[in-house]
C-alpha cells in the first residue's frame, strides 16, 4: 500500500509503464474491465512489520472437520490452536506493556491497524490480569450491532466458554448476557442506556470505547459522559481505541491522555484502477469478481458496496451469472454482510469455504474497520458508501451515498493485505478520488440538535432535566422520536397498534421485497395495503395485521412480496415492546379503526419531520426548508396531501421521502402536539426555538442532560 496516497501520481506512473504490467482481464459475460497496476518495486518498504505468521494461521484452515466433534483430545487441540492464533496477533508482543500502561493511567488512547487484535484481545488481557475479579465487568462498546455480536462470539470461542455466559453482548432488542458475564460487548447506545440506570457504572472496572474514530453521535455523547464520570470513579479505567490517527483529538479531550500505538503489520497491496471511471459500479464489481475468480490464484474477495439493496441485487446477479457458467468454473460462495442482516447469516462470512471454492463477501463499509474477515486477498472498492451524515444547513442526519474519503479508501485496500500480499481494484474514476474529503460532522452542533429534539419532544424540561415523559421514553431502546410515539399512544388509547407500527419501522426499509423481474407484481401487491390517503405507516400496520390473520404464514409473505426474515424480526421487536409497555405502565389498548388517534400519536413524535406541498408537486420541509419528493411506491404518491410528516429523509438523486404520513392540519393546529413558535407563526407549528430558551446553567440534576450540557460548554471535541 503506498505510504502517501496520490492517485493522480500513481496513475501517471502507471501510464508511462509498459503494458506488461497491465492485467489483461478475462473475457467473460458482456463486459471486461481493464485495470492498470502500480509499480511493484516501490513497495519493498511495506514489508517492515512482517512476521512469519502465515504458517500458523494456515493451520486452522487445515483442521479436519471432525475437529469440531465430540473427540475430547482433538477439541482441546482446536482450542489450543486458537490460543496459538492469539499469540500471532500484532498486539500480543505488547500485552505486558499495555497492561502496565492501563495500570499507570486512568485514561489510555490506543491506536492500531484493523486486525491487530484490539477488540478481541484487550478485554481478555484485562480479564486475565484480574480486572474482572469481585464480580466486576470489562465493557467494550462498538458503534455497530454486527460487530458487537461477532466479536463476542469470537472471544467466547477463544476463551472456550459458551456465548452469553462469561462473554456476552448486548445490542438493541437483544441481551445475550448472564449474571456471570465478565466481558461484555455492546453498542455504544446500549452503554448510554445503562448509564441512565447506573450512573456511576459501578459494575464495571474498565470501559473500552472501541472504534472511537467512527464518531457516531452516541460515541461522542458517551465520551462526554465518561469524561465526567471518571472523576467520581478514580478506580474506573477508560480505554479509547481507534483504528486511525485522529487519536490526538481523543488524547487532547482527555487532558492529554497517553497514546499507546500498536505497530501494524501490512503486506503490500497492489492497487489497480479502472482505466475509465465506471458509472454502473455494481455491474463493474460483478464483472471484476468473475474475472478474479476465473484468472487469479486462490484467495477470497471482499466487495464494498453501499447498502442492503445493492448487495442483494449484486448477489442475485452474481448467482445468476455463475449458474450460467455451469461447471466450467470452480464454486463461488457469496456472503452478504450489512447491518440489518439476521445474526445467523452474519456469521456465515467467517465460515471457511470447501476446498477449491472461493468466497466473495459483499459488504457495506461495515467491513472497513468493524469486522475483520480472514483470508481476503482481493478487495473491490466501488468507491462509495452510504453514510449517516449530519447536514448543518438543515440540522438533519441523513443517509447519503457519498464518495468515500481517502482514509476509507486506504482502509479498504488494506483489507486485502492482512495475511499476505493482496490486490485492490478501484472502480471509481481517478478524478473523483482526487476530491476525497473527510466528512467530519460538527459534534457540538449535533449535540445541541439532540438536546433541542429531546426538549421539543418533552423529554427534557427547560433546565435540561429528564421529565416523566423522558423517563418513560428512556425505557425503550428506540430513537427518541419513536419512543415518544409509543409514550403518546397511551393518551390516544392505541398502544397496541402503535407498537406494531413502531416495530415495522424499526426493521428498516426491508419489509417489501421487489425482485428485479417481478417489479410490477411486487408493486401491485404493495398497493393493496395502502388505504386511501392515510399514509404508509398505516399500510405497515395493515401488512402486519394481515400476516397475523394468516397465522404468520410464510407462504402469505411470498405471495405478497413481503420479506419473511424482516417481518419476523418485526414480530420479535413487537413482542419486546409489548413487554416494555408494562414496565412504563402503559396499558395495552387497541383502537384499530380510529386512524386519527393513530396519526396523532405518530405526529406527537414526528412533528419535527413535517413538510408542506408546493405548487410543483414537491414538498418543502418546515423546520429547515429542504425540498423533497414523495417516493413513487408510497400510498400518497397519487394523493399528494397538503401536509405530511415523514419517517426518514433519504437523500438520493431525487430527495425522496421514504415513509410519508398524511397529516390534516385543521385537526391539530394549536394542540399540544403542535406548539406554534412565537417568531415563526406558521399554519402548522413545529417547535422552533432558540437555544437561549433553555437555561443551560441551572441544571445539575440529570445524567443525560449533564452529559449533553457538558459537551456544549466544552466545544473542543
Ligand atoms: O480490533 P482489531 O481490528 O484490532 O482486531 P480484532 O477484531 O481483535 O481481530 C483480531 C483477529 O481476530 C482477526 O485477525 C481475526 O483473525 C480474528 N477475528 C475473528 O476471527 N472473528 C471475529 N469476529 C473477530 C476477529
Ligand atoms: Mg476492532
For residue range 376-417, what is the model confidence (pLDDT) as tens digits? 999 999 888 876 654 444 444 456 677 777 778 888 988 898
- 144/618 Cα distance (integer angstroms): 35
- 164/178 Cα distance (integer angstroms): 6
> What is this structure's pTM?
0.62
Residue carrying the nine cell digits 437483544: 174
| Phi, psi for 128 (deg, rounded to 5) | -65, -30
116 pocket-lining for ligand 1 (C-beta < 6 Å):
yes
Choose between 78 and 72: higher pLDDT. Answer: 78
- 461/302 Cα distance (integer angstroms): 48
β-strand 627-630 against 610-613: which pairing, if any? Answer: unpaired
- At 544 the pLDDT is 97
- At 574 the pLDDT is 95
Starting from the edge strand earliest in sequence, which strands make up the sheet with 35-36, in order?
A: 35-36, 269-274, 422-426, 376-381, 300-304, 358-363, 332-337
Answer whether residue 273 shows pLDDT above 50.
Answer: yes
DSSP string, 523-584: HHHHHTT--TTSBHHHHHHHHHHHHHHTTT-HHHHHHTTB-HHHHHHHHHHHHHHHHHHHHT
- 549/145 Cα distance (integer angstroms): 32
Answer whether residue 314 shows pLDDT above 80.
Answer: yes
**Residue 372 CA to ligand 1 centre (angstroms):** 5
Residue carrying the nine cell digits 491497524: 113
* CA nearest to 114, candidates 459, 471, 418: 418
Instruction: Identify any residues that bridge with 515 across adjacent strands, giving them in sequence order.
Output: none
- Residues of the chain by 3-state class (helix, strand, coil), percent to 5: 45, 15, 40
Residues 535-545 have a mean pLDDT of: 92
DSSP 205: E
118 pocket-lining for ligand 1 (C-beta < 6 Å):
yes
119 pocket-lining for ligand 1 (C-beta < 6 Å):
yes
- 661/102 Cα distance (integer angstroms): 52
Residues 6 or more apart whose Cβ sits within 8 Å of residue 248: 259
Q: Whose CA is nearest to atom 17 of ligand 1?
A: 372
Instruction: Read off the pLDDT of residues 301-312 as tens digits, 9 standing for 90 and up.
Output: 999 998 888 899
Confidence of residue 69 (pLDDT cuts 50, 70, 90): very low
* CA nearest to 102, candidates 238, 212, 4, 8: 238
Q: Whose CA is nearest to atom 19 of ligand 1?
A: 154
Residue carrying the nine cell digits 471509481: 428
Residue 525: left (phi > 0), alpha (psi -120 to 50), or beta?
A: alpha
DSSP 254: T
| Spatial contact of 648 and 659, defined as CB atoms under 8 Å apart | yes
DSSP 135: G
Confidence of residue 46 (pLDDT cuts 50, 70, 90): very low
Give the range with max mean pLDDT: 18-32, 483-497, 516-530, 699-713.
483-497
Residues 368-379 have a mean pLDDT of: 86
115 pocket-lining for ligand 1 (C-beta < 6 Å):
yes
Confidence of residue 50 (pLDDT cuts 50, 70, 90): very low
Residues 538-557 have a mean pLDDT of: 95
Coil, helix or strand at residue 64: coil
**Residue 119 CA to ligand 1 centre (angstroms):** 7
Percent share of the chain, pLDDT over 70: 72
Return the C-alpha cell found at 422.
Answer: 493482496
- At 393 the pLDDT is 43
169 pocket-lining for ligand 1 (C-beta < 6 Å):
no
Atom of ligand 1 nearest to the CA of 113: 4
- At 431 the pLDDT is 36
**Candidate of 82, 117, 210, 376 to mutate for ligand 1, largest count of ligand atoms within 8 Å of Cβ:** 117
* CA nearest to 172, candidates 218, 135, 241, 112: 218
**Residue 247 CA to ligand 2 centre (angstroms):** 15
Residues 658-672 have a mean pLDDT of: 46
Rg (CA), the chain: 26
**Mean predicted lDDT score pLDDT of the chain:** 75
Coil, helix or strand at residue 603: helix
**Candidate of 84, 116, 266, 372 to mutate for ligand 1, largest count of ligand atoms within 8 Å of Cβ:** 372
174 pocket-lining for ligand 1 (C-beta < 6 Å):
no
Angle separating helix axes 536-549 and 595-606, nearest 10 degrees = 120
Return the C-alpha cell found at 707.
Answer: 452529559
Residues 524-539 have a mean pLDDT of: 86
Answer whether residue 144 shows pLDDT above 50.
Answer: yes
Amino acid at each position: 500500500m503506498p505510504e502517501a496516497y496520490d492517485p493522480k501520481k500513481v496513475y501517471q506512473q502507471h501510464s508511462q509503464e509498459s503494458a506488461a504490467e497491465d492485467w489483461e482481464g478475462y473475457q467473460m459475460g458482456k463486459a471486461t474491465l481493464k485495470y492498470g497496476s502500480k509499480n511493484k518495486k516501490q513497495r519493498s518498504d511495506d514489508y517492515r512489520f512482517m512476521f512469519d505468521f502465515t504458517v500458523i494461521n494456515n493451520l486452522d484452515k487445515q483442521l479436519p472437520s471432525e475437529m469440531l466433534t465430540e473427540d475430547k483430545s482433538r477439541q482441546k487441540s482446536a482450542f489450543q490452536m486458537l490460543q496459538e492464533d492469539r499469540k500471532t496477533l500484532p498486539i500480543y508482543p505488547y500485552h505486558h506493556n499495555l497492561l502496565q500502561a492501563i495500570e499507570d493511567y486512568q485514561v489510555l488512547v490506543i491506536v492500531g491497524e484493523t486486525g491487530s487484535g484490539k477488540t478481541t484481545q484487550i478485554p481478555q488481557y484485562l480479564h486475565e490480569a484480574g480486572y474482572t475479579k469481585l464480580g466486576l465487568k470489562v465493557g467494550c462498546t462498538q458503534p455497530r450491532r454486527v460487530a458487537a455480536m461477532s466479536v463476542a462470539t469470537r472471544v467466547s470461542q477463544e476463551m472456550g466458554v459458551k456465548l452469553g455466559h462469561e462473554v456476552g453482548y448486548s445490542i438493541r432488542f437483544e441481551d445475550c448476557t448472564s449474571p456471570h458475564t465478565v466481558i461484555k460487548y455492546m453498542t455504544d447506545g446500549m452503554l448510554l442506556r445503562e448509564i441512565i440506570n447506573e450512573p456511576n457504572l459501578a459494575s464495571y472496572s474498565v470501559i473500552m470505547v472501541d472504534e472511537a474514530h467512527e464518531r457516531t453521535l452516541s460515541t461522542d455523547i458517551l465520551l462526554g459522559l465518561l469524561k465526567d464520570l471518571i472523576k467520581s470513579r478514580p478506580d474506573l479505567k477508560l480505554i479509547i481505541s481507534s483504528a486511525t490517527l485522529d487519536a490526538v483529538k481523543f488524547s487532547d479531550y482527555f487532558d492529554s491522555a497517553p497514546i499507546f500505538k500498536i505497530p501494524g503489520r501490512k503486506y503490500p497491496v497492489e492497487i489497480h484502477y479502472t482505466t475509465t471511471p465506471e458509472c454502473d459500479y455494481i455491474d463493474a464489481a460483478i464483472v471484476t469478481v468473475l474475472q478474479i475468480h476465473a484468472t487469479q490464484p486462490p484467495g477470497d474477495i471482499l466487495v464494498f458496496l453501499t447498502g442492503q439493496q445493492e448487495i442483494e441485487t449484486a448477489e442475485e446477479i452474481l448467482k445468476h451469472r455463475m449458474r450460467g457458467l455451469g461447471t466450467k468454473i470452480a464454486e463461488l460462495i457469496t456472503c452478504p454482510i450489512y447491518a440489518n442482516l439476521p445474526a445467523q447469516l452474519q456469521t456465515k462470512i467467517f465460515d471457511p469455504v470447501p476446498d477449491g471454492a472461493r468466497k466473495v463477501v459483499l459488504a457495506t463499509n461495515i467491513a472497513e474497520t468493524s469486522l475483520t474477515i480472514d483470508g481476503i486477498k482481493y478487495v473491490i472498492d466501488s468507491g462509495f458508501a452510504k453514510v449517516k451524515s449530519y447536514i448543518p444547513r438543515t440540522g438533519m442526519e441523513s443517509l447519503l451515498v457519498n464518495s468515500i474519503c481517502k482514509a476509507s479508501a486506504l482502509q479498504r485496500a488494506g483489507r486485502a493485505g492482512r495475511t499476505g500480499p493482496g490486490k485492490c481494484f478501484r472502480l471509481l474514476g481517478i478524478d473523483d478520488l482526487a476530491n476525497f474529503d473527510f466528512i467530519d460532522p460538527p459534534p457540538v452542533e449535533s449535540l445541541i440538535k439532540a438536546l433541542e429534539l429531546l426538549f421539543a419532544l418533552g423529554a427534557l424540561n427547560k433546565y435540561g432535566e429528564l421529565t416523566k415523559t423522558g423517563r418513560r421514553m428512556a425505557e425503550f431502546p428506540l430513537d427518541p422520536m419513536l419512543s415518544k410515539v409509543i409514550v403518546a399512544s397511551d393518551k390516544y388509547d392505541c398502544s397496541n397498534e402503535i407498537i406494531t407500527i413502531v416495530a415495522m419501522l424499526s426493521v428498516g426499509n426491508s419489509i417489501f421485497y421487489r425482485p428485479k423481474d417481478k417489479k410490477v407484481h411486487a408493486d401491485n401487491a404493495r398497493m393493496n395495503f395502502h388505504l386511501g390517503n392515510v399514509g404508509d405507516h398505516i399500510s405497515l400496520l395493515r401488512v402486519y395485521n394481515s400476516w397475523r390473520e394468516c397465522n404468520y404464514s410464510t407462504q402469505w409473505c411470498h405471495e405478497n412480496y413481503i420479506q419473511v426474515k424482516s417481518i419476523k424480526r418485526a414480530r420479535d421487536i413487537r413482542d419486546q415492546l409489548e413487554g416494555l409497555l408494562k414496565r412504563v405502565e402503559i396499558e395495552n389498548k387497541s383502537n384499530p379503526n380510529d386512524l386519527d388517534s393513530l396519526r396523532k400519536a405518530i405526529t406527537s413524535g414526528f412533528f419535527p419531520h413535517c413538510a408542506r406541498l408546493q405548487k410543483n408537486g414537491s414538498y418543502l420541509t418546515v423546520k429547515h426548508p429542504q425540498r423533497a419528493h414523495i417516493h413513487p411506491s408510497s400510498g400518497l404518491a397519487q394523493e399528494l396531501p397538503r401536509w405530511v410528516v415523514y419517517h426518514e429523509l433519504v437523500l438520493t438523486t431525487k430527495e425522496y421521502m421514504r415513509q410519508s404520513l398524511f397529516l390534516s392540519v385543521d385537526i391539530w393546529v394549536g394542540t399540544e402536539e403542535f406548539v406554534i413558535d412565537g417568531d415563526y407563526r406558521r399554519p402548522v407549528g413545529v417547535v422552533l426555538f432558540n437555544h437561549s430558551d433553555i437555561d443551560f446553567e441551572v441544571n445539575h440534576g440529570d445524567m443525560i442532560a449533564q452529559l449533553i450540557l457538558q459537551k456544549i460548554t466544552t466545544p473542543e471535541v
